[in-house]
Structures are given as C-alpha cells and as structure tokens.
Amino acid sequence: MLVFLLRRLAQSVFVLIAMMIVVFFGVYMVGNPVDILISPDATPREIEETMARFGFDQPVHIQFLSFVGNALQGDLGRSFVHGESAVSLILSYMPATLELALLGLIFSVLIGVPLGVYAGYKADRWQGRAIMTGSIFGFSLPNFWVGMLFILIFAVELRWLPSTGRGDTVEVLGLRLSIFTADGLSHMILPALTLALYKASLVTRLARAGTQEALMQDYVKFARAKGLSETRILVVHVLKNIMIPIITVLGLELGSMIAFAVVTETVFAWPGMGKLLIDSILTLDRPVIVAYLMLTVIIFIVINLIVDVIYTLLDPRVRVKGEAA
Amino acid sequence: MSVTDQPVATAIAVDPGKRWRIARTVAGVAVLGALALLFSGFGVASFAVRVVLLVGLVVLAAGLLQGRMHKFFSSPSAYVATACLLLLVILAIFATEISPQNPYDLRQLDIMDGRQPPGSTNFSGTMTYHLGTDEQGRDIWSGILYGLRVSLSVSIVATLIAMAIGVVVGIYAAWAGGRIEAVLMRIVDFQLSFPSILVALMLMAAFGRGLDKIVIALVIVQWAYYARTVRGTALSETRKEYIDAARGLGLPDWRIVFGHLLPNCIPPLIVISTVQVANTIVLESSLSFLGVGVPITQPSLGLLIANGYDYMLSGQYWMSMYPGVALLAIVASINMVGDRLRDTLNPRLTR
C-alpha cells in the first residue's frame, strides 16, 4: 500500500511539474500585458521601468526559472490588475465557487435520484421513456443557455429570484458564504440549478440503471413476499443499494463542477474563481491565470489521488497489480 | 422467375450488401471531397458541391442503417429527431440560398432596423423580420442559418480530425504494445483527467480567436477520447482469429492493420462520434459565449447568443432566445439520433 501511494505521489509531482511548464509557456504566449498595464502616452523611460519592475525585460527562460523558484515558495506572482498576490486573490474567490458547486451537487442528487428511481421502476412504460428522453435534453442544453432561460423566466418575467450577484454574505469559520443567509441563498438557487442540470441527468441515468438491476435481486423479491408496499421497497431497500455508486461518481464529478462553474458564474455574474479566470483572460492578467490553473491542477491531482486510493482499498486486484509492477 | 434464367440474373445483379458497400464508399469519398472543397474556400459559392454533400451524407446514413431501419425507427422520437436533424442540416448547407439576407454583407444592413421585435418590417418596407433583428439591424433568422453552418462545420471538422488522430494513436498503441503503449496511454489518461472546457478555454486564451484555432483546440481536447476507445476495441480485435489468419497468410503488418484491423474498429466509433459532435457543438458555443471562440465576423450560435445576452435583461429576448432554440434543437436531435444509433448498432443490446 505504501509503495503504491509513494508511486502515485511521485507521478503526481511529475504531472505537476509538466503542467507548470505547459501552463507557463502557454500563458506566456497570451498577448503582451505591457500594452494593457501602461498608458499609451507613457514615455519610453516609464515603459522600461515598468517592464523591469515586472521582469518582462528578462529572457523567457530566466522568467521561467524565477517563476518556478517563487512557485515553490507558494508565490505565483502579483495580479497586474488587482495588485495583490494572485494566490490569495484566488483563495478569496474560492469559497463562492465551492459553495455553488456543493449546492449544485445537492440539487443534482435531489432532482436526479427520484427521477431515476421512478424511471427504473417504470422502465418500459411511457413514464420511464419520457424521463429518459428528458434526460437527453438535460445533456443537450448548453449550460449558459439554461442560465439565460432561468434569468429570463424567474428574474425578468416572474421577478421571483434575483438574477446576478451573490447577495448578503456572512462570515462562517473565516469564510464569506452566501448559503447561510436568506438573501444569499435566493441568489444561489438559479446558478446552482443551472450547474446541477447536467449532473442531474447523469444521476438520473445512473439511478435508473441501478434501480433496474436492483429490482431483479432476491432481496427485492423477498421484500415483496413480505408484503411491503412498493414505495417502501423503492425508498428503503432499493435506494440504499444504489446510492453508493452514485455518490462515488458525484465525488469524481466535483472537479468538473468547479470547471463548469466558469460558464455558470459568467452568466450569473457570480463572483467566484471562474468569473475571475474569464476576467483575467480578457485583461491578460497572467499571474492570476497561471495561479488559477496551478490551483485547479492541484485540486484535480488530489481528487484523482483520493479516488485511486479509495479504489485500491475497495478492490484488492488493483493493489496487487500496483505492487507487482 | 423461371428456374433457367435465375443464375443469369444473380450473375449480373450485384448482391445488395456489396451494392451498399459501393454506395457507402462513393458517398464517403464524395462527402470528404465536398467538405474539402468547401473548406478550402474554393467551392463556397458552388451550389452543386453542396448538393453532393447533402446527398452523400444521406446515403452514408442510409448505408449505416441498412437492414436495421425498422429497429432504428421503432420509437416515435426517432422519427422526430431524424426529421429535425435532416431539416437543420439542409438549412445549414443551403444557408445562403434560404436566408432572406446576408447578415455579413454590410450593404444589406440598415442601422435603422436595429433591435426590431419579431414580425416587424424593415425600414424600407421590403422584407419582414420574422424573428426580429439584432443591434446592427441583422435579421436574426438569417443570422441563425449562417451561425448554424459555422457551428456544425467547426464541430464536424474538429470531430473528424480528432477521430483520425485518435484512431491512429489508439491502433498504434494497441498494435505496438509494451512501453510505447504504456507511454501513449499515460498521456491519454493525463489529458482525460482534466475537464475539456477548462483545457479548451486555456488553449483559446493562448491562441486567440479564430475558426482554425478553435478547430485545433477542439481537436486537442478530444483526440484522447477516441484514442482510448479505439485502443480498447483494437485490443479485443487483435485477439480474434481473422487477425491470426492474416498473419498466417504472411501479410505485412501495415496490410493487417489497415485492411483488417481498422475496418473492424470503426463501427463503435460511429456511435461515439455522433454524440461527440453534439458535445463539440456545446463546447464550441460555450467558448464563443465566453468570448474566446469564433471571430466576430463569423459568429456561431454561441456568439449570437452572447451578442443578444446584453439586451436580455431589458426584455429584448429574441436576440439570444431564438439562436438558443436553434442550438438546443440541433444538439438535442443529434443526441437523440445518437442514442437510437447506440441502441440499434450495439451488438450487446441485441435481444
């Protein structure tokens, strides 16, 4: 186990270094930040001074080395636009994205599981088919368009919910969160639903397949023979058994939720990491882009590592293979 | 038919399976040729090339379903989705002929017609804007037709190139085995562990806007997916007897791979690529919506939606609403057709 873990850790470090190189040189290709930072009527002397201050006058490989050196100390540079450290800037935007992704996950379970179980129960009837066709729409609807539709219906026409922004926030354990205030929660509902829709159709399909399989098992037959009501069988017996794979998949999908939040946050002007990334791309704020990418890479590596370790614990065959190799 | 002339008849008539194979090959070459002509900018205006493209596509689709038509059309949603898809493809291919206005010809635009609601007539009273106009006075309906063409062609071309690269890498990995396979598959795993929208976003941020650039970005985020699938299929196919038989005949490796292995790895790919085209359209439109996709001069549906988004909150919904409906229609119909294709072609589900 230890050997396996060490091997995986070494691989992760390698991936991190590879990503660092790719990210730095990729972002280095993006435009010339000097044009944006310096006013057009600056004198050549001012331009030179600014270039020197940000280190743009150095050759690329020197810039890269100093970037790596600083990155190892947890310093990914200062934002050109905001003037503060890129890492702390992103960390200050992170809670907004995380709470959105979390509420999105909760919504997708609340929508997807009941629909999926019902579709599995009525698999060959019109209800089941209708839900499955509906789930295709869930897959097909582009994230940003759903968000716009929600804004149009619930914010512009019906005026039930606010369309943009984060609403009131409250400090919990040192993080500013919207989820615990009524106003903040009302701001979260639309973006979280938008984010949840794609995952909800995924959960629906998983739950349907699981239910269909579970209904053929002996324990369901036994429960029926005991004379339990169909509702009780579905809600108590089937549901418990299909939840494990669904939760596993959703844990895996948390990372992609954060990625998809880029689009949702832009539509709803939600001040999270994704919105920050888009703004930084549009203003060529290199350090923030690099820091966002490095942070996301780390999040993904950690998620993948955790999943691998859990699989190893659950499935001994992987472990044996890993140790033998 | 009498007994005596039967052998003559069979000798002359090509058997239906073979006829379909010939038709498929001809159609495939025609479609690729037409696509190449259209994208080289050479035959953009040529009506005949586009007719060839449409006919070729229909023949290809019919050839794919040959003998399984009944099964494919066993549910009513299959009819609706297929009809919808066919209609949208025709609209996209013949956008220049169908649309009442060329929305990117500035001479045909009148700034006085800006932001007209659906159903209004233009300033000089010569045409009706059935779906309204955008802030430049462009007819939304014409914009949708042109946008549909951009969205479809970008994603189809990206999917084809990604598939070609994926097939080559996947088959090579499966055939070579050993260290090469391990390295290639680690790269594939590495790439697939990051969500495509993030990777594409970064690539587009680095490249800048442009049709060719978005195609490259979409190819980069997708090839690994095909490589993994093809490798899986190829691995199970190489263990089959017909490969051993080909080896036993002393055929060179390249003939076994291209003549025997490759044709048998393609069918599962068709289903995946159908659904993948839909995903690519969504991805492309999301990127364009975020402002890092297609250039302003050639807007796709996503960019049209983004353009109208600013006016949405002031109640001028039509500018992004109708392109959105078109986007939903194309993606949903492709997905439904793909879903039916999977049920029809997947041998594991045959009951």
ipTM: 0.75
Could you write out the three-class secondary structure of A150-166?
HHHHHHHHCCCCCCCCC
Could you write out the DSSP letters of every residue in A171-210?
A: EETTEEESTTSHHHHHHHHHHHHHHHHHHHHHHHHHHHHH
At residue A147, what is the residue type?
G
What is the nearest CA distance from B276 to chain A, expressed in angstroms?
Answer: 11
Q: What is the pLDDT of residue B219?
A: 92
Q: Sorting pLDDT into bands at 50, 70 and 90, what band is B6?
A: very low
Q: Find the mean pLDDT for residues B124-146.
A: 76
State whether residue B120 is helix, strand or coil: strand
**Model confidence at B165, in pLDDT bands (50, 70, 90)?**
very high
Give B350's pLDDT tier (boundaries 50, 70, 90).
very low
- State whether B282 and A140 contact (CB < 8 Å): yes
pLDDT reported for residue B194: 76
pLDDT in the model for residue A232? 85
DSSP letter at A233 equals: I
Report the phi/psi class of residue B121: left, alpha or beta, with left for phi > 0 and alpha for psi in -120 to 50. Answer: beta
Residue by residue, DSSP assigns B89-105 as HHHHHTHHHHSSS-TT-
Chain B residues closer than 8 Å to A139 by CB? 335
- What span, in angstroms and rounded, lies between the C-alpha atoms of B274 and B89? 14
- Low-confidence stretches of chain A (pLDDT beneath 50): 320-325
> Is 50 exceeded by the pLDDT of residue B103?
yes
Q: How confident is the model at residue B102 (pLDDT cuts 50, 70, 90)?
A: confident
| pLDDT tens by residue, B229-251 | 888 888 888 888 888 888 888 88
Q: Which of A275, A301, A270, A292 has its CA nearest to residue A100?
A: A270
Examine the pLDDT at B115 and tell me if it is beyond 80.
no
The full set of domain ranges for chain B reads: 6-107+132-349
Give the per-residue pLDDT at B106.
67
Taking CA atoms, what residue in B is nearest to A265? B290
Average pLDDT over residues B258-273: 81
| Architecture, CATH, for domain A92-282 | Orthogonal Bundle (1.10)
Contact A145 B305 (CB under 8 A): yes
Kindly list the residues from chain A whose CB atom is less than 8 angstroms away from the CB atom of residue B313. Answer: 151, 155-156, 163
- Provide the mean pLDDT of chain B: 79
Q: Is A325 an 8 Å CB contact of chain B? A: no
Q: Which residues pair with B128 in a beta bridge?
A: B121
Close Cβ partners of B68 (under 8 Å, ≥ 6 residues apart)? B344, B345
Could you state, in order of their start, the residue ranges of all structural domains in chain A? 92-282
Q: What is the pLDDT of residue A10?
A: 83
- DSSP H or E segment with residue A170: strand A170-172
- For the domain spanning B6-107+132-349, the CATH number is 1.10.3720.10
Give me the mean pLDDT over the B301-313 stretch.
82
Q: Do A148 and B278 touch (CB under 8 A)?
A: no
Q: Are B215 and B295 in contact (CB under 8 A)?
A: no
Per-residue pLDDT averaged across B97-106, rounded? 74
Question: CA A257, A262, A263, A267: dihedral to nearest 10 degrees?
Answer: 120
Q: Are strands A170-172 and A175-177 parallel, antiparallel or unpaired?
A: antiparallel
Question: Which tokens sit at A78?
Answer: 């200062």
CA distance linking residue A221 with residue A216, whole number of Å = 8
Cα gap A249→A203, rounded to integer Å: 9
- Scanning every residue of chain A, which has its alpha carbon at the shortest distance from the alpha carbon of B207? A30
The answer to whether the Cβ–Cβ distance between B302 and A263 falls below 8 Å is: no
Structure-model confidence comparison of residues B245 and B128, the more confident one: B245
Question: Cα–Cα distance between B277 and B194 in angstroms, integer?
Answer: 19
Is pTM beyond 0.90? Reply is no
Model confidence at B117: pLDDT above 50: yes
Choice among A131-140, A166-175, B187-196, B202-211 with the minimum mean pLDDT: A166-175
Residue range B25-41, pLDDT digits in tens: 888 888 888 777 777 66
Strands (E), chain B: 120-121, 128-129
